[in-house]
Structure 1
Amino acid sequence: MSRVNLLLLALLAACSTTKVGRAPELTPIAATADRTAMVTYALPQTLDRAPQLPGAGASLWTGDRGSLLGDRRAMQQGDILTVVIEIDDSANISNSGDRSRSASQSMAVPNLLGLPQSLDKKLPQGASLGTAVGINSSSAAQGQGSVSRTEQLELRIAATIVDVLPNGVLSIAGQQEVRVNFELRELLVTGFVRPADITRQNEITYDKIASARISYGGRGQITDMVQPRYGQQALESVLPF
Protein backbone atom coordinates (compact mmCIF):
# COMPACT_ATOMS: atom_id res chain seq x y z
CA MET A 1 0.00 0.00 0.00
CA SER A 2 1.43 3.39 -1.01
CA ARG A 3 2.08 6.26 1.34
CA VAL A 4 -0.71 8.27 -0.24
CA ASN A 5 -3.27 5.56 0.56
CA LEU A 6 -2.01 5.32 4.14
CA LEU A 7 -2.34 9.08 4.51
CA LEU A 8 -5.90 9.02 3.18
CA LEU A 9 -6.86 6.23 5.57
CA ALA A 10 -5.43 8.18 8.51
CA LEU A 11 -7.39 11.28 7.51
CA LEU A 12 -10.60 9.29 7.19
CA ALA A 13 -10.07 7.68 10.59
CA ALA A 14 -9.50 11.08 12.16
CA CYS A 15 -12.60 12.56 10.55
CA SER A 16 -14.86 9.62 11.43
CA THR A 17 -15.51 10.98 14.93
CA THR A 18 -16.41 14.48 13.71
CA LYS A 19 -19.52 14.94 11.62
CA VAL A 20 -19.04 18.00 9.48
CA GLY A 21 -22.08 20.31 9.42
CA ARG A 22 -24.12 18.12 11.79
CA ALA A 23 -24.91 18.51 15.47
CA PRO A 24 -23.99 15.66 17.86
CA GLU A 25 -26.73 13.07 18.11
CA LEU A 26 -28.65 12.47 21.32
CA THR A 27 -28.54 9.06 22.95
CA PRO A 28 -31.67 7.03 22.09
CA ILE A 29 -33.96 6.73 25.10
CA ALA A 30 -34.68 3.10 24.32
CA ALA A 31 -31.04 2.25 25.06
CA THR A 32 -30.89 3.79 28.54
CA ALA A 33 -31.03 1.89 31.82
CA ASP A 34 -33.89 4.14 32.98
CA ARG A 35 -36.32 2.88 30.37
CA THR A 36 -35.24 -0.72 30.92
CA ALA A 37 -36.07 -0.43 34.62
CA MET A 38 -39.44 1.14 33.86
CA VAL A 39 -40.59 -1.50 31.38
CA THR A 40 -39.31 -4.43 33.47
CA TYR A 41 -41.60 -5.67 36.19
CA ALA A 42 -40.05 -5.81 39.64
CA LEU A 43 -40.34 -8.85 41.89
CA PRO A 44 -43.60 -8.96 43.84
CA GLN A 45 -43.53 -7.80 47.44
CA THR A 46 -43.48 -10.68 49.92
CA LEU A 47 -44.38 -8.62 52.98
CA ASP A 48 -47.81 -9.32 54.42
CA ARG A 49 -50.13 -6.37 54.22
CA ALA A 50 -53.18 -5.62 56.26
CA PRO A 51 -56.45 -6.38 54.49
CA GLN A 52 -58.11 -3.46 52.77
CA LEU A 53 -61.16 -2.33 54.72
CA PRO A 54 -64.39 -1.61 52.86
CA GLY A 55 -64.60 2.04 51.91
CA ALA A 56 -60.97 2.73 52.76
CA GLY A 57 -60.25 3.70 49.17
CA ALA A 58 -62.55 6.71 49.45
CA SER A 59 -60.96 8.03 52.66
CA LEU A 60 -58.61 11.02 52.67
CA TRP A 61 -56.57 9.61 55.54
CA THR A 62 -55.30 6.38 54.00
CA GLY A 63 -51.61 5.73 53.65
CA ASP A 64 -51.76 4.75 50.00
CA ARG A 65 -49.37 6.49 47.65
CA GLY A 66 -52.22 7.95 45.64
CA SER A 67 -54.00 9.48 48.63
CA LEU A 68 -53.66 13.01 49.93
CA LEU A 69 -51.30 12.07 52.77
CA GLY A 70 -49.66 9.10 51.12
CA ASP A 71 -45.89 8.61 50.90
CA ARG A 72 -44.96 9.40 47.32
CA ARG A 73 -41.23 8.91 47.64
CA ALA A 74 -39.53 6.63 45.16
CA MET A 75 -39.14 3.15 46.59
CA GLN A 76 -39.72 0.62 43.81
CA GLN A 77 -37.98 -0.27 40.57
CA GLY A 78 -38.95 2.20 37.88
CA ASP A 79 -39.79 5.05 40.29
CA ILE A 80 -38.22 8.46 39.67
CA LEU A 81 -36.51 10.73 42.20
CA THR A 82 -34.56 13.99 41.98
CA VAL A 83 -30.83 14.09 42.69
CA VAL A 84 -29.55 17.46 43.92
CA ILE A 85 -25.87 18.06 43.17
CA GLU A 86 -24.41 21.06 44.98
CA ILE A 87 -20.62 20.80 45.11
CA ASP A 88 -18.69 23.72 46.58
CA ASP A 89 -15.31 22.39 47.64
CA SER A 90 -11.93 24.02 48.01
CA ALA A 91 -8.64 22.56 49.14
CA ASN A 92 -5.24 24.07 49.82
CA ILE A 93 -2.28 21.83 50.54
CA SER A 94 1.32 22.92 50.95
CA ASN A 95 4.39 20.90 51.85
CA SER A 96 8.01 21.83 52.38
CA GLY A 97 11.05 19.77 53.22
CA ASP A 98 14.68 20.53 54.01
CA ARG A 99 17.41 17.93 54.47
CA SER A 100 21.15 18.16 54.89
CA ARG A 101 23.90 15.70 55.73
CA SER A 102 27.67 15.82 56.09
CA ALA A 103 30.24 13.08 56.75
CA SER A 104 34.01 12.97 57.15
CA GLN A 105 36.29 9.95 57.45
CA SER A 106 40.07 9.61 57.52
CA MET A 107 42.60 6.86 58.12
CA ALA A 108 46.33 7.25 58.73
CA VAL A 109 49.18 4.82 59.44
CA PRO A 110 52.04 6.99 60.62
CA ASN A 111 53.96 4.28 62.49
CA LEU A 112 53.70 0.52 62.17
CA LEU A 113 57.05 -1.20 62.84
CA GLY A 114 58.65 1.25 60.46
CA LEU A 115 56.72 -0.11 57.48
CA PRO A 116 55.12 3.22 56.45
CA GLN A 117 58.54 4.89 56.28
CA SER A 118 60.01 2.12 54.15
CA LEU A 119 56.99 1.93 51.89
CA ASP A 120 56.83 5.67 51.36
CA LYS A 121 60.11 5.42 49.45
CA LYS A 122 58.60 3.02 46.95
CA LEU A 123 55.30 4.92 46.52
CA PRO A 124 54.82 7.53 43.78
CA GLN A 125 55.87 11.09 44.51
CA GLY A 126 53.41 12.77 46.86
CA ALA A 127 51.90 9.49 48.15
CA SER A 128 52.31 8.56 51.78
CA LEU A 129 50.78 6.18 54.29
CA GLY A 130 50.81 8.94 56.86
CA THR A 131 47.38 9.96 55.49
CA ALA A 132 46.28 6.79 53.78
CA VAL A 133 42.57 7.59 53.32
CA GLY A 134 40.59 10.81 53.67
CA ILE A 135 36.91 11.13 52.69
CA ASN A 136 34.61 14.13 53.01
CA SER A 137 31.02 14.22 51.78
CA SER A 138 28.04 16.52 52.12
CA SER A 139 24.56 16.66 50.62
CA ALA A 140 21.60 19.03 50.83
CA ALA A 141 18.07 18.84 49.49
CA GLN A 142 15.17 21.27 49.66
CA GLY A 143 11.71 20.93 48.18
CA GLN A 144 8.42 22.80 48.24
CA GLY A 145 5.02 21.98 46.79
CA SER A 146 1.50 23.36 46.91
CA VAL A 147 -1.91 22.35 45.57
CA SER A 148 -4.91 24.66 45.28
CA ARG A 149 -8.25 23.46 43.92
CA THR A 150 -11.73 24.97 43.84
CA GLU A 151 -14.83 23.26 42.49
CA GLN A 152 -18.36 24.62 42.33
CA LEU A 153 -21.23 22.80 40.66
CA GLU A 154 -25.00 23.10 41.10
CA LEU A 155 -27.18 20.67 39.17
CA ARG A 156 -30.45 18.79 39.47
CA ILE A 157 -31.25 15.61 37.60
CA ALA A 158 -34.07 13.08 37.63
CA ALA A 159 -32.84 9.55 38.27
CA THR A 160 -34.63 6.21 38.08
CA ILE A 161 -34.48 3.29 40.47
CA VAL A 162 -33.03 0.53 38.30
CA ASP A 163 -32.82 -2.16 41.00
CA VAL A 164 -33.76 -2.87 44.60
CA LEU A 165 -31.04 -4.81 46.41
CA PRO A 166 -31.87 -7.61 48.87
CA ASN A 167 -31.08 -5.35 51.86
CA GLY A 168 -33.49 -2.67 50.63
CA VAL A 169 -30.87 -0.29 49.22
CA LEU A 170 -31.90 1.34 45.94
CA SER A 171 -29.65 1.41 42.87
CA ILE A 172 -30.27 4.58 40.84
CA ALA A 173 -29.16 5.80 37.44
CA GLY A 174 -29.88 9.06 35.68
CA GLN A 175 -28.92 10.61 32.37
CA GLN A 176 -29.59 14.09 31.05
CA GLU A 177 -28.60 15.57 27.70
CA VAL A 178 -29.07 19.15 26.56
CA ARG A 179 -28.13 20.22 23.05
CA VAL A 180 -27.68 23.87 22.18
CA ASN A 181 -26.81 24.49 18.54
CA PHE A 182 -23.85 22.20 17.84
CA GLU A 183 -22.81 21.48 21.43
CA LEU A 184 -24.23 18.69 23.59
CA ARG A 185 -23.95 18.76 27.37
CA GLU A 186 -24.54 15.49 29.20
CA LEU A 187 -24.90 14.68 32.88
CA LEU A 188 -24.67 11.13 34.24
CA VAL A 189 -25.20 9.97 37.82
CA THR A 190 -25.29 6.48 39.35
CA GLY A 191 -25.02 5.08 42.85
CA PHE A 192 -26.82 3.49 45.79
CA VAL A 193 -29.17 5.25 48.20
CA ARG A 194 -31.13 4.33 51.29
CA PRO A 195 -34.88 4.85 51.17
CA ALA A 196 -34.71 6.65 54.52
CA ASP A 197 -32.43 9.34 53.01
CA ILE A 198 -35.01 10.35 50.41
CA THR A 199 -36.87 13.47 51.58
CA ARG A 200 -40.61 14.01 51.52
CA GLN A 201 -40.07 16.10 48.37
CA ASN A 202 -38.69 12.95 46.71
CA GLU A 203 -35.18 14.41 46.56
CA ILE A 204 -31.76 13.23 47.68
CA THR A 205 -28.46 15.10 47.85
CA TYR A 206 -25.33 13.75 46.20
CA ASP A 207 -23.46 13.37 49.51
CA LYS A 208 -25.91 10.64 50.59
CA ILE A 209 -25.28 8.49 47.50
CA ALA A 210 -22.91 5.60 48.10
CA SER A 211 -20.42 4.79 45.32
CA ALA A 212 -21.59 7.94 43.54
CA ARG A 213 -20.41 8.33 39.96
CA ILE A 214 -21.12 11.82 38.62
CA SER A 215 -20.01 12.82 35.14
CA TYR A 216 -20.62 16.24 33.62
CA GLY A 217 -19.16 16.91 30.21
CA GLY A 218 -20.02 17.48 26.62
CA ARG A 219 -19.29 16.81 23.02
CA GLY A 220 -19.62 18.89 19.91
CA GLN A 221 -17.84 21.64 18.03
CA ILE A 222 -16.67 23.58 21.09
CA THR A 223 -15.30 20.46 22.76
CA ASP A 224 -13.48 19.47 19.57
CA MET A 225 -11.88 22.91 19.30
CA VAL A 226 -10.39 22.88 22.82
CA GLN A 227 -9.06 19.32 22.47
CA PRO A 228 -5.58 18.76 21.01
CA ARG A 229 -5.43 17.21 17.57
CA TYR A 230 -4.81 13.45 17.26
CA GLY A 231 -1.30 13.96 15.95
CA GLN A 232 -0.40 16.20 18.86
CA GLN A 233 -1.79 13.69 21.37
CA ALA A 234 0.21 10.90 19.73
CA LEU A 235 3.42 12.94 19.88
CA GLU A 236 2.87 13.90 23.53
CA SER A 237 2.40 10.26 24.46
CA VAL A 238 5.68 9.26 22.76
CA LEU A 239 8.03 12.17 23.31
CA PRO A 240 9.84 11.96 26.67
CA PHE A 241 10.25 15.75 27.03
Structure 2
Amino acid sequence: MRWLLILPALAACGRLEEVGRAPGFSALEGSTQHHAMYSAPLPESSDPDGPGAPSSLWSSSRASLFGDRRAGQRGDILTVVIEIDDSAEIDNSTGRSRSSDESMEIPSLLGLPQRIDRRLPEGASMAEAAEIGSSSSYRGEGSVSRNERLTLRLAATVVEELPNGVLRIEGQQEVRVNFELRELILTGYVRPVDISRQNEITYDKIAGARISYGGRGQITDVQQPRYGQQITDILLPF
Protein backbone atom coordinates (compact mmCIF):
# COMPACT_ATOMS: atom_id res chain seq x y z
CA MET A 1 0.00 0.00 0.00
CA ARG A 2 2.92 2.33 0.71
CA TRP A 3 4.29 1.81 -2.84
CA LEU A 4 0.96 2.90 -4.29
CA LEU A 5 1.48 6.28 -2.68
CA ILE A 6 5.20 6.60 -3.44
CA LEU A 7 5.08 5.81 -7.19
CA PRO A 8 2.57 8.54 -8.13
CA ALA A 9 4.54 11.00 -6.02
CA LEU A 10 7.77 10.18 -7.86
CA ALA A 11 6.05 10.52 -11.23
CA ALA A 12 4.59 13.87 -10.22
CA CYS A 13 8.02 15.11 -9.06
CA GLY A 14 9.45 14.33 -12.48
CA ARG A 15 6.78 16.40 -14.15
CA LEU A 16 7.37 19.32 -11.77
CA GLU A 17 10.63 20.03 -13.62
CA GLU A 18 8.63 20.99 -16.72
CA VAL A 19 6.50 23.59 -14.94
CA GLY A 20 6.88 26.91 -16.77
CA ARG A 21 9.07 25.32 -19.45
CA ALA A 22 8.30 23.99 -22.90
CA PRO A 23 8.64 20.21 -23.32
CA GLY A 24 12.07 19.18 -24.55
CA PHE A 25 12.79 17.35 -27.77
CA SER A 26 13.85 13.73 -27.81
CA ALA A 27 17.59 13.26 -28.33
CA LEU A 28 18.65 11.77 -31.67
CA GLU A 29 22.12 10.83 -30.45
CA GLY A 30 22.29 7.16 -29.65
CA SER A 31 19.21 6.22 -31.67
CA THR A 32 19.19 3.73 -34.52
CA GLN A 33 18.74 6.60 -36.98
CA HIS A 34 21.86 8.28 -35.64
CA HIS A 35 23.97 5.12 -36.01
CA ALA A 36 22.61 4.45 -39.51
CA MET A 37 23.37 7.98 -40.69
CA TYR A 38 26.95 7.96 -39.37
CA SER A 39 27.87 4.40 -40.30
CA ALA A 40 30.40 3.97 -43.07
CA PRO A 41 28.85 2.67 -46.32
CA LEU A 42 30.07 -0.53 -47.92
CA PRO A 43 32.82 -0.04 -50.53
CA GLU A 44 31.56 -0.14 -54.12
CA SER A 45 33.28 -2.51 -56.51
CA SER A 46 34.97 -0.71 -59.37
CA ASP A 47 35.28 -2.21 -62.84
CA PRO A 48 38.06 -0.60 -64.90
CA ASP A 49 36.15 -1.36 -68.09
CA GLY A 50 32.66 -0.67 -66.74
CA PRO A 51 30.46 2.40 -66.98
CA GLY A 52 32.22 3.96 -64.00
CA ALA A 53 35.62 3.96 -65.67
CA PRO A 54 37.32 7.34 -66.07
CA SER A 55 37.20 7.07 -69.87
CA SER A 56 33.48 6.26 -69.95
CA LEU A 57 30.84 8.90 -70.71
CA TRP A 58 28.30 6.95 -68.68
CA SER A 59 28.40 7.12 -64.92
CA SER A 60 26.40 4.68 -62.78
CA SER A 61 26.96 6.54 -59.53
CA ARG A 62 23.95 7.78 -57.57
CA ALA A 63 25.14 11.36 -57.88
CA SER A 64 25.01 11.26 -61.68
CA LEU A 65 22.13 12.54 -63.76
CA PHE A 66 20.93 9.05 -64.68
CA GLY A 67 21.72 7.38 -61.37
CA ASP A 68 19.09 5.72 -59.21
CA ARG A 69 18.66 7.99 -56.20
CA ARG A 70 16.10 5.88 -54.41
CA ALA A 71 16.86 4.70 -50.90
CA GLY A 72 18.40 1.27 -50.95
CA GLN A 73 20.98 0.93 -48.21
CA ARG A 74 21.54 1.71 -44.56
CA GLY A 75 21.63 5.42 -43.85
CA ASP A 76 19.55 6.48 -46.88
CA ILE A 77 16.52 8.73 -46.46
CA LEU A 78 13.12 8.35 -48.11
CA THR A 79 9.79 10.15 -47.81
CA VAL A 80 6.78 8.33 -46.38
CA VAL A 81 3.35 9.59 -47.48
CA ILE A 82 0.61 8.89 -44.93
CA GLU A 83 -2.91 9.40 -46.22
CA ILE A 84 -5.40 7.57 -44.03
CA ASP A 85 -9.08 8.07 -44.80
CA ASP A 86 -10.90 5.12 -43.24
CA SER A 87 -14.54 4.82 -42.35
CA ALA A 88 -16.47 1.83 -41.04
CA GLU A 89 -20.07 1.37 -40.05
CA ILE A 90 -21.53 -1.83 -38.63
CA ASP A 91 -25.13 -2.33 -37.51
CA ASN A 92 -26.30 -5.67 -36.11
CA SER A 93 -29.71 -6.73 -34.85
CA THR A 94 -30.57 -10.13 -33.38
CA GLY A 95 -33.95 -11.43 -32.26
CA ARG A 96 -35.09 -14.76 -30.86
CA SER A 97 -38.43 -15.98 -29.46
CA ARG A 98 -39.65 -19.36 -28.27
CA SER A 99 -42.90 -20.57 -26.72
CA SER A 100 -43.99 -24.09 -25.71
CA ASP A 101 -46.97 -25.71 -23.92
CA GLU A 102 -47.19 -29.30 -22.71
CA SER A 103 -49.92 -31.10 -20.81
CA MET A 104 -50.52 -34.71 -19.72
CA GLU A 105 -53.88 -36.15 -18.71
CA ILE A 106 -54.74 -39.62 -17.42
CA PRO A 107 -58.55 -39.80 -17.26
CA SER A 108 -58.62 -43.57 -17.06
CA LEU A 109 -56.11 -46.36 -16.84
CA LEU A 110 -57.63 -49.64 -15.66
CA GLY A 111 -59.39 -47.62 -12.96
CA LEU A 112 -56.13 -46.65 -11.31
CA PRO A 113 -56.63 -42.85 -11.58
CA GLN A 114 -59.98 -43.12 -9.79
CA ARG A 115 -58.43 -45.16 -6.99
CA ILE A 116 -55.58 -42.66 -6.67
CA ASP A 117 -58.00 -39.69 -6.60
CA ARG A 118 -59.53 -41.07 -3.39
CA ARG A 119 -56.18 -40.85 -1.64
CA LEU A 120 -55.21 -37.40 -3.01
CA PRO A 121 -55.99 -34.17 -1.12
CA GLU A 122 -59.24 -32.38 -1.89
CA GLY A 123 -59.15 -30.69 -5.30
CA ALA A 124 -56.35 -32.88 -6.68
CA SER A 125 -57.07 -35.23 -9.54
CA MET A 126 -55.21 -37.48 -11.91
CA ALA A 127 -57.47 -36.37 -14.76
CA GLU A 128 -55.00 -33.53 -15.40
CA ALA A 129 -51.76 -35.01 -14.18
CA ALA A 130 -49.33 -32.37 -15.42
CA GLU A 131 -49.33 -29.16 -17.44
CA ILE A 132 -46.14 -27.29 -18.38
CA GLY A 133 -45.75 -24.01 -20.22
CA SER A 134 -42.65 -21.93 -20.98
CA SER A 135 -41.71 -18.90 -23.07
CA SER A 136 -38.50 -16.95 -23.68
CA SER A 137 -37.47 -14.05 -25.82
CA TYR A 138 -34.19 -12.27 -26.62
CA ARG A 139 -33.30 -9.18 -28.61
CA GLY A 140 -29.92 -7.55 -29.07
CA GLU A 141 -28.76 -4.56 -31.07
CA GLY A 142 -25.31 -3.13 -31.66
CA SER A 143 -23.75 -0.52 -33.89
CA VAL A 144 -20.22 0.73 -34.60
CA SER A 145 -19.38 3.93 -36.45
CA ARG A 146 -15.79 5.10 -37.05
CA ASN A 147 -14.24 7.77 -39.23
CA GLU A 148 -10.51 8.50 -39.29
CA ARG A 149 -8.58 10.86 -41.55
CA LEU A 150 -4.87 11.65 -41.40
CA THR A 151 -2.61 13.25 -44.04
CA LEU A 152 1.10 13.53 -43.25
CA ARG A 153 4.52 13.35 -44.91
CA LEU A 154 7.56 12.12 -43.01
CA ALA A 155 11.24 11.61 -43.84
CA ALA A 156 12.38 8.19 -42.63
CA THR A 157 15.83 6.62 -42.43
CA VAL A 158 16.85 3.14 -43.55
CA VAL A 159 18.32 1.65 -40.37
CA GLU A 160 18.81 -1.95 -41.49
CA GLU A 161 18.97 -3.99 -44.68
CA LEU A 162 17.69 -7.52 -44.11
CA PRO A 163 19.24 -10.57 -45.84
CA ASN A 164 16.21 -10.91 -48.15
CA GLY A 165 16.63 -7.33 -49.38
CA VAL A 166 13.81 -5.80 -47.33
CA LEU A 167 14.62 -2.46 -45.67
CA ARG A 168 13.72 -1.56 -42.11
CA ILE A 169 12.92 2.12 -41.75
CA GLU A 170 12.38 4.44 -38.81
CA GLY A 171 11.24 8.04 -38.77
CA GLN A 172 10.60 10.60 -36.07
CA GLN A 173 9.39 14.17 -36.33
CA GLU A 174 8.78 16.66 -33.53
CA VAL A 175 7.21 20.10 -33.85
CA ARG A 176 6.95 22.43 -30.87
CA VAL A 177 4.38 25.22 -30.90
CA ASN A 178 4.51 27.35 -27.76
CA PHE A 179 4.23 24.87 -24.87
CA GLU A 180 2.83 21.94 -26.85
CA LEU A 181 5.01 19.35 -28.61
CA ARG A 182 3.52 17.29 -31.43
CA GLU A 183 5.43 14.16 -32.38
CA LEU A 184 5.12 11.64 -35.22
CA ILE A 185 6.85 8.27 -35.04
CA LEU A 186 6.91 5.60 -37.76
CA THR A 187 8.58 2.19 -38.10
CA GLY A 188 8.14 -0.66 -40.56
CA TYR A 189 9.54 -2.74 -43.40
CA VAL A 190 9.55 -1.81 -47.09
CA ARG A 191 10.65 -3.40 -50.35
CA PRO A 192 13.04 -1.39 -52.51
CA VAL A 193 10.84 -2.04 -55.57
CA ASP A 194 7.92 -0.27 -53.88
CA ILE A 195 9.88 2.97 -53.58
CA SER A 196 8.91 5.35 -56.39
CA ARG A 197 11.31 7.27 -58.63
CA GLN A 198 10.62 10.31 -56.45
CA ASN A 199 12.06 8.35 -53.51
CA GLU A 200 8.62 8.16 -51.87
CA ILE A 201 6.53 5.32 -50.53
CA THR A 202 2.94 5.25 -49.30
CA TYR A 203 2.05 3.87 -45.89
CA ASP A 204 -0.05 1.03 -47.36
CA LYS A 205 3.14 -0.56 -48.78
CA ILE A 206 4.87 -0.66 -45.38
CA ALA A 207 4.72 -4.06 -43.69
CA GLY A 208 4.36 -4.08 -39.92
CA ALA A 209 3.80 -0.32 -39.95
CA ARG A 210 3.63 1.34 -36.55
CA ILE A 211 2.43 4.94 -36.79
CA SER A 212 2.10 7.10 -33.69
CA TYR A 213 0.84 10.66 -33.85
CA GLY A 214 0.37 12.46 -30.56
CA GLY A 215 1.76 15.15 -28.35
CA ARG A 216 2.82 16.23 -24.92
CA GLY A 217 2.70 19.53 -23.15
CA GLN A 218 0.31 21.76 -21.26
CA ILE A 219 -2.73 21.05 -23.45
CA THR A 220 -2.20 17.29 -23.29
CA ASP A 221 -1.84 17.43 -19.50
CA VAL A 222 -5.18 19.21 -19.14
CA GLN A 223 -6.90 16.58 -21.30
CA GLN A 224 -5.60 13.69 -19.18
CA PRO A 225 -7.12 12.65 -15.82
CA ARG A 226 -5.05 13.19 -12.69
CA TYR A 227 -2.81 10.46 -11.24
CA GLY A 228 -5.18 9.83 -8.34
CA GLN A 229 -8.14 9.36 -10.64
CA GLN A 230 -6.23 6.95 -12.87
CA ILE A 231 -5.19 4.84 -9.88
CA THR A 232 -8.75 4.85 -8.55
CA ASP A 233 -10.11 3.67 -11.89
CA ILE A 234 -7.69 0.74 -11.84
CA LEU A 235 -8.17 -0.34 -8.23
CA LEU A 236 -11.92 0.07 -7.79
CA PRO A 237 -13.81 -2.99 -9.08
CA PHE A 238 -17.09 -1.10 -9.52
TM above 0.5, yes or no, is yes
Q: 2:22 is matched with which residue?
A: 23
Structure 1 residues 131 and 89, CA gap change in structure 2 (3 angstroms)? same
Provide the residue aligned with 1:180 in structure 2: 177
Q: Is the 8 A contact 1:60 1:69 kept in 2?
A: no
Unmatched 5+ stretches in structure 2: none
8 Å Cα contact 2:183-2:215 kept in structure 1: yes
Alpha-carbon separation, structure 1, partners of 2:63 and 2:96: 71
1:228 and 1:221 map into 2 onto residues whose CA distance is 13
CA 1:58–1:155 in structure 2 vs 1: closer, same or farther (change >3 Å)?
farther
Q: Is 1:156 paired with 2:159? A: no
1:223 Cα offset (Å): 0.9
Determine which of 113, 129, 133 is the counterpart of 2:126: 129
CA shift at 1:146, angstroms? 1.4
TM-score by length of 1: 0.86
Give 1:94's match in structure 2, choosing from 91, 116, 122: 91
| 2:35 is the alignment partner of 1:36 | yes
Deviates more, 1:51-60 or 1:33-42: 51-60
Aligned residues: 235
Deviates more, 1:77-86 or 1:95-104: 95-104
Is 1:70–2:41 an aligned residue pair?
no
- The Cα of 1:164 is off from its aligned counterpart by 0.7
1:237 counterpart residue number: 234
Aligned AA (1:168): G
Identity, in percent, stands at 63
Shift of 1:123: 2.1
State whether residues 52 and 59 of structure 2, in contact with CA within 8 Å, keep that contact through their aligned partners in structure 1.
no
SS of the residue aligned with 1:117?
A: helix
Counterpart AA for 1:193: V
For 2:228 and 2:67, how far apart are their aligned partners in 1?
Answer: 60
Instruction: Confirm or deny: 8 A CA contact 1:61 1:68 kept in the other structure.
Output: no
Task: Give structure 1 stretches of 5+ with no counterpart.
Answer: none
Name the SS of the counterpart of 1:16 in structure 2.
helix
* Change in 2 beyond 3 A, CA 1:68/1:58: farther
Structural mapping, 1:73-222, within 5 Å: 73-222=70-219
Query: Residue 215 of structure 2: SS of its match in structure 1?
Result: strand
Offset from partner CA, 1:8-47 (integer Å, 9 cap, x none)? x4663351342322222211111322112223346667xx
Contact 1:99 1:141 in 2 (8 A): yes
The alpha carbon displacement at 1:130 in A equals 1.9
Runs of 4+ in 1 over 3 A off after TM superposition: 40-45, 48-61, 238-241
> In 2, distance between residues paired with 1:168 and 1:117?
93
